[in-house]
A and B are shown apart, each in its own frame.
Chain A
Amino acid sequence: MVEPERVLHSVMVIAFERKGVIDQNLKIIKAVQDELNLTEDDKFDALEHIKKFRGNGDWSGKRDAVVSVAIERIEDAIEDNLIESSSITNALTKLINVTLNEQKPSNNAPSNDPLAAFEDDEEEMPDTSLKFGLEDEEEEEIVPMELIETEDEVEEIENDSIVSQDAFSLDDSENDIEDVDDEEVDPFDLIGGRGNTNSGNGESTYRDPLDELMDEVDDEELQVETIELGSDDSEESETEPEKEPVASESQIIEMYKMMLDTVWVDDIIDPSEVALLARKRKELDISFETHMELVREMLED
């Protein structure tokens, strides 16, 4: 079971990396903090830790590994029902998908990203409309608006009649979060279908994960399309060899080493991190002996 403090830390990591800067006022952070019943001190501790290790955003060259570990933690938390609010879960899932999509170099280009193998985790959440519901170009430009908005910007959004009520309910108050969870209230009845989530920000094509949670019906439709598209693709892929080259052994070792560095970056390992590494060893076919060598190397550094 991932500790709630670490889940919040992970959400903060992902959110900050999506935004590109540290912004403790992001609404998703507040929502998760409340959901996990964490105090301001907990949030402060996580913030301080991130400030200490994030540097200018490259996490001492381990950004991708840090993000991957954060995603794993969040997914574990969701799997363990640590986060019960479906709206927050959906938002986090979509945020993860957006982040993963961004990490992928492109759908067709050969992958040079050593973290690509981590992204092929079969336990990862299936990509839905974020992948297929938007054009690739749009995906590249996706920036979680809801996450990057500070409280000051909330008013601006509220004035926009098209923005879903639930979208800003997550950040305005705890009561609103509960409202989102109330299944009796159909958000689509309130907003009359998908709105333009980018209204008020004409330059951005960003689709906010929290806004998207309002679009579940549309998403489901898009998922159907996605399956159809996927089936076409799979037919093509049957005739073609693998599009993405397999990472070399040294790349695999290097990325595993990065994960190892990352999980111990705070000087403490916990069971969820150990389980993550054990899973990765199995997936990447890394022997325990190799793992032990890497541990020794890491401690000697």
Chain B
Amino acid sequence: MKTIFWTALDIAWSDGSMSKKGALIIEKLHDAMGLKISLREEIEERFAKMVLEDRTERGEGAGDAELENWVNGIIEDLNSDDLESQIICIGAKAVKQGLSKEKWGLGMNFTEEFNQSNTFAEGVWMENDSNNEFEEFLSILQPLENELNK
């Protein structure tokens, strides 16, 4: 499962290059997520090794347009009042389906990027009694929901 910041890098580098605008958008996303520097460093190192190292094509960083739209949606989701309750809901649902250690790790890593891993953990370990049910999830959480509960 691609995490949010990984996906942003993926889009920014989609044609083999990242524009200056793309880099600025990445910074904007970084700030909005509250992503820890050490974690970002780790993600970028892995991205460089796994994606960029073998890439030969070079573009003009045309991914920035798509990136801007996508990041704006993500930032909107980060500010949503439903974010925490939806994360709790996803965690609780995952347990109902039987949560493996691997999926627990995926959920924690995914939500850690935007400082919500504790919220996810609360949902999993029944530390939060809110029983909100959601039919649809914010786009920022869709990859997590797809990975854990579908």
Contact = CB atoms under 8 A, between A and B. Distances in A.
B148 to A, nearest CB: 13
Given A267-B102, A288-B125, A291-B125, 12 more contacts: A269-B98, A269-B99, A269-B124, A271-B96, A271-B126, A275-B126, A277-B125, A288-B122, A295-B104, A295-B121, A299-B101, A299-B104
Interface in A281-301: 288, 291-292, 295, 299
Interface string A229-257: 00000000000000000000000000000
11 contacts: A267-B100, A267-B101, A267-B102, A269-B98, A274-B126, A277-B125, A278-B125, A278-B127, A288-B121, A288-B127, A291-B125
Contacts of A291: 125
B99 A299 contact: no
A126 B94 CA distance: 34
A271 B96 CA distance: 6
A295 B118 CA distance: 12
- Interface of chain B: mostly helix, strand, loop or mixed: helix
Interface of B: 95-96, 98-102, 104-105, 118, 121-122, 124-127
A291 B98 CA distance: 19
A91 to B, nearest CB: 29
A271 B125 contact: no
A277 B124 CA distance: 11
Nearest to A279: B126
B126 A278 contact: yes
Given A274-B126, A278-B126, A299 B105 contact: yes
Contacts of B118: 292
A274 B124 contact: yes
A268 B95 CA distance: 9
B75 to A, nearest CB: 28
Nearest to B122: A288
A13 B104 CA distance: 26
Contacts of B104: 269, 295, 299
A111 to B, nearest CB: 28
A274 B125 contact: yes
A270 interface: yes
Nearest to B128: A288
Contacts of A269: 95, 98-99, 104, 124
A268 B98 CA distance: 6
A269 B100 CA distance: 7
Given A288-B122, A291-B125, A271 B100 contact: no
Contacts of B105: 299
A174 B20 CA distance: 75
Of the listed residues B96, B99, B102, the one surrounded by the most CB atoms of chain A closer than 10 A to its CB is B99
Closest 3 CB pairs of A and B: A268-B98, A278-B126, A288-B127
A62 B98 CA distance: 22
Nearest to B98: A268
Contacts of B98: 268-270
A59 B121 CA distance: 28
